[in-house]
Amino acid sequence: MSSNPPPSSGSSAAFFDLDRTLISGSSAFVLGVAAWRGKLVPTHQFVRDAFSALQFLLAGADDDTSMGVRDRILGAVKGVRLDDLVALNADIVPKLMERVRPESMRLIEQHRDAGRATYIVSASPIELVEPLAKALGMTAGIGTRSRIVDGTYTGELAGPFCYGPGKVEAMEEIAAVQGLDLERCWAYSDSHSDLPMLRAVGHPVAVNPDAPLERVAADHGWPVVEFRKRSKAVIRRTTQTVGAVGLAVGGFAGGVRWARTH
């Protein structure tokens, strides 16, 4: 198949998961380091969240860990002033830009050149996702919104938690406002936890998929994209399961395939 998305009629968009899809690794870890250095979170909480981020990097997310992440995101910002959290972006955004996969950047550019809106969709706080999207020249970021009263986070949600079905809810809100037809839209993710998002669009693409997503992609004949791997452990897993080192270290042009049907 061609790696270039077809021209757009103007009613479609491309939605990108953030962690392990648009970037290598976990944005939550980068946020946690910045918050810890900025004395917004105590050391014991930083260590706990760092361990959770490592688990996510090695094994991916599931419903239980997602709820834990939701609670930690809300709990971590509770009592923090909005201005203090936003100030961390001067440190966070450049670090995340360094983690953006070159293949992802080319896809964003291809969709943008085709006239499509491009969005990051992530469980990470909107205050992190939106500046990163703008720095990448994307249309906007869709992230978790926390309730703010008198400039301070209350520790409560102010919208859908952007994970699983919550991502679809947020995408549908954007589609309604922008007049998008989700059947004409594209979505990219590495994780089976994003199956609701992938199934909500007409053009789902699995990116470095985990094993459950790989199976679903095979069942439905979805295209699978193998982006460059940054972790040696992940490279070993890829070479064992796919049988080609080139897929682990090669560029985007050589890493597009159709999932094989059983």
pLDDT at 88 over 50: yes
Print the domain residue range for 31.
13-258
Asked whether residue 218 is domain-assigned, the answer is yes
Measured distance CA(249)–CA(9) in Å, rounded:
34
Q: In this structure, is residue 247 part of a structural domain?
A: yes
Q: What confidence score (pLDDT) does residue 56 get?
A: 45
In a domain, 7, yes or no: no
Residue 43 lies in a domain: yes
Residue 6 in any domain: the answer is no
Q: What is the CATH number of the domain that holds 62?
A: 3.40.50.1000
In a domain, 4, yes or no: no
Model confidence, pTM: 0.76
- 211 within a domain of the structure (yes/no): yes
- Of 5-14, 106-115, 156-165, the range with the lowest mean pLDDT is 5-14
**Count of domains forming the chain:** 1
64-76 residue pLDDT tens: 455 665 676 666 6
User: Active-site positions?
Assistant: 17, 19
Residue 192 lies in a domain: yes
Q: How confident is the model at residue 57 (pLDDT cuts 50, 70, 90)?
A: very low
- pLDDT for 76 equals 66
